[in-house]
Structure 1
Amino acid sequence: MTFVQLIDCKTSRFDEMNRLMDRWVEQTKGKRTATHDIIGKDRSDPAHFIEIVEFASYEEAMQNSNLPETDRIFQEMVALCDEEPTFTDLDVVRDEQLNVLAARAFFEAMGRMEPGRIGDHLTRDYVDHDPSYPQPVQGIDGIREQYEGWRAAFDFTFRIDDQMAQDDQVCTRWTWVAHHKGEFLGIPATEQDVSMRGMTWQRFREGRICESHWLYDRAGLLEQLGVLGQ
């Protein structure tokens, strides 16, 4: 079970504490077990800071705490605080990365969504980068036209193979499975079942996608349709 520790402290010497944390990171390289570390400053009290440290488990957190470097740095950190810091130990019982869920919902909807609804997932100033097109597509109307073309040529679904998230960005690795039912790039319908693997990097704003970069095996798709490799 994921474990999170909250360290609540007050200090007027944060710059020194920040340098201390950099030194701890350097000294424990290859030994520390923390997977994520965030420090936030209280908007209403500039001397109030909360550090959120994530570990894969409580046992790994204890392993980290028992490092001699951690003990030394902790003593120095306490000396920089205006008062004794407090610690809260939390077992994570629910963890949802909302942008990841929004990206998954977008891909799951792509195979059945009416073209007019694609704007439900995108910002008005959405930008789409696709290596198959000479210029980025700007706005919802442009991407709706693209989507209509794919929907006219194929019945398809996306299978999510993997996802990673950082800040406001989500990267999704996917497999596209389709049936070729209509003209595509001048190729008449073949009634073939085809597939294609790809990856999409997306940036989010207020829960909607504002930018996408697509990478996929278009040559492999054309080969399956009998255009290449003959």
Structure 2
Amino acid sequence: MYTSTSDAPVSARTTQDVLNELLVGHAAHLYAVDAVLCDMTQPQPVQGREAILAYLSVFYGGAFRNVSVKPVTMMVNGSTAILEFSFLGTHSGPQLGMPATGRDVHLHLIAVYRIEEGLIRETRLYYDSAELPRQLNPDS
């Protein structure tokens, strides 16, 4: 279970504070109620905190277990944060129309966050959308 590492009021959290907490876990309290997540491989953005959390839950505890996120590069400039990271997990549930394979996956992603008043307002997620299917079904 995620526990906040910051005792600061939401509005007093810096962009770096939010990014640091995000690395600990995708916690609902980090996203604004009206936040938007743009997965650049998808035609439509995900809108609203609850929809974003449902979207992320597929990766963090839904279709994957033993998940870890390894930061590679973090950059913060004002209200913008850029995080390059690796996602590692074991495919343990349906994903991309494929039943659980038990295979370990290792994905490389970049996320650009706009953080205002201590909350994530917008996320833009960039990654190779063909990488996951290649790792889940390497024989195809």
Distance 2:121 2:49 in 1: 10
Compare the two structures and name the one with the higher strand fraction.
2
Contact 2:15/2:78 (8 A) holds in 1: no
Q: How many Å separate the matches in 2 of 1:217 and 1:107?
A: 21
Q: Does structure 2 retain, via aligned residues, the 8 Å contact 1:157–1:177?
A: yes
SS in structure 2 of the partner of residue 218 of structure 1: coil
Corresponding residue of 2:51: 142
Aligned length: 126
The structure where helix makes up a greater share of residues is 1
Q: Identity over aligned residues, as a percent?
A: 26
On the 8 A contact 1:104/1:160 being kept in 2, the answer is no
Aligned partners of 1:168 and 1:204 also within 8 Å: yes
Provide the residue aligned with 2:36 in structure 1.
Answer: 127
Bigger relative contact order, structure 1 or 2 (CA pairs below 8 A, ≥6 apart): 2
Contact 2:37 2:47 in 1 (8 A): yes
Alignment of 1:1-230 (within 5 A): 98-110=14-26, 118-150=27-59, 151-155=61-65, 156-226=67-137, 230=140
Q: Do the aligned residues in 1 keep the contact of 2:41 with 2:126 (CA within 8 Å)?
A: no
Distance in 2 of aligned mates of 1:168 and 1:152: 30
State the shift of 1:157 in Å.
1.5
TM-score, reference length from structure 2: 0.82
Tell me which stretches of 4 or more aligned residues in structure 1 moved more than 3 Å: none
Pairwise CA RMSD: 1.7
CA distance in 2, matches of 1:121, 1:171: 16
Q: Where do 5+ consecutive residues of structure 2 fail to align?
A: 1-12
1: distance between equivalents of 2:136 and 2:44? 25
